[in-house]
Structure 1
Amino acid sequence: MTVANILLSGIVGSTAYGLAHEGSDVDRLGMFAAPTEELHGLHRPKESHVSTAPDSTLHEAAKWCRLALSGNPTVMELVWLPDELYEVRTPLGDELIAIRTTLPSAQRVRDAYLGYATQQFRRLQNRNDGSQADDSQAEASADTGKRTAKHARHLKRLCTQGYDLYATGQLTIRVEDPESYHRFGEQVAADPDSALPLLRDFEERFDRTRSVLPEQPDESAAEAWLRGVRRHFYAS
Structure 2
Amino acid sequence: MTVSNILLSGVVGSTAYGLAHAGSDVDRLGMFAAPTEDLHGLHTPKESHVSTAPDRTVHEAAKWCRLALGGNPTVMELVWLPDELYEVRTPLGDELIGIRTTLLGAQRVRDAYLGYATQQFRKLQNRGDGTHTEQTAKRIAKHARHLKRLCTQGYELYADGRLTIRVDDPESYHRFGEQVAADPEAAQPLLRDFEERFAGTRSVLPDQPDERPAEAWLRRVRRHFYTEATTAAPA
Provide the TM-score with structure 2 as the length reference: 0.96
Moved runs in structure 1, 4+ residues, more than 3 A? none
The CA distance in 2 between the partners of 1:199 and 1:102, in whole Å, is 27
State the 1:110 CA deviation: 0.2
Please state if 1:128 is matched with 2:120.
Answer: no
State the 1:141 CA deviation: 1.2
Task: Look up the match of 1:229.
Answer: 221
Task: Look up the match of 1:94.
Answer: 94
The CA distance in 2 between the partners of 1:92 and 1:128, in whole Å, is 45
- Structure 1 segment 62-141 matched on structure 2, within 5 A: 62-131=62-131, 140-141=132-133
Please state if 1:144 is matched with 2:136.
Answer: yes
In the alignment, residue 93 of structure 2 is paired with which amino acid? G
Task: Look up the match of 1:32.
Answer: 32
Task: Look up the match of 2:44.
Answer: 44
In the alignment, residue 176 of structure 1 is paired with which amino acid? D
Please state if 1:184 is matched with 2:191.
Answer: no
State the 1:142 CA deviation: 1.0
State the 1:29 CA deviation: 0.1
1:206 to 195, 198, 201: 198
Structure 1 SS opposite 2:130: helix
The CA distance in 2 between the partners of 1:149 and 1:128, in whole Å, is 11
CA displacement 1:90-141 (0-9 Å, x = unmatched): 000000000011111000000000000000000000111224xxxxxxxx21
In the alignment, residue 14 of structure 1 is paired with which amino acid? S
Task: Look up the match of 1:22.
Answer: 22
1:165 to 136, 157, 160: 157
Task: Look up the match of 2:59.
Answer: 59
The CA distance in 1 between the partners of 2:83 and 2:172, in whole Å, is 25
The CA distance in 2 between the partners of 1:34 and 1:159, in whole Å, is 34
Question: Percent identity at matched positions?
Answer: 85
- C-alpha RMSD over aligned residues: 0.5
Q: Gaps spanning 5+ residues in structure 1: where? A: 132-139
The CA distance in 2 between the partners of 1:89 and 1:48, in whole Å, is 19
State the 1:24 CA deviation: 0.3
In the alignment, residue 38 of structure 2 is paired with which amino acid? E
The count of corresponding residues between Structure 1 and Structure 2 is 228
Structure 1 SS opposite 2:190: helix
The CA distance in 2 between the partners of 1:143 and 1:125, in whole Å, is 16
In the alignment, residue 128 of structure 1 is paired with which amino acid? G
The CA distance in 1 between the partners of 2:19 and 2:104, in whole Å, is 25
In the alignment, residue 41 of structure 1 is paired with which amino acid? G
State the 1:161 CA deviation: 0.0
State the 1:78 CA deviation: 0.1
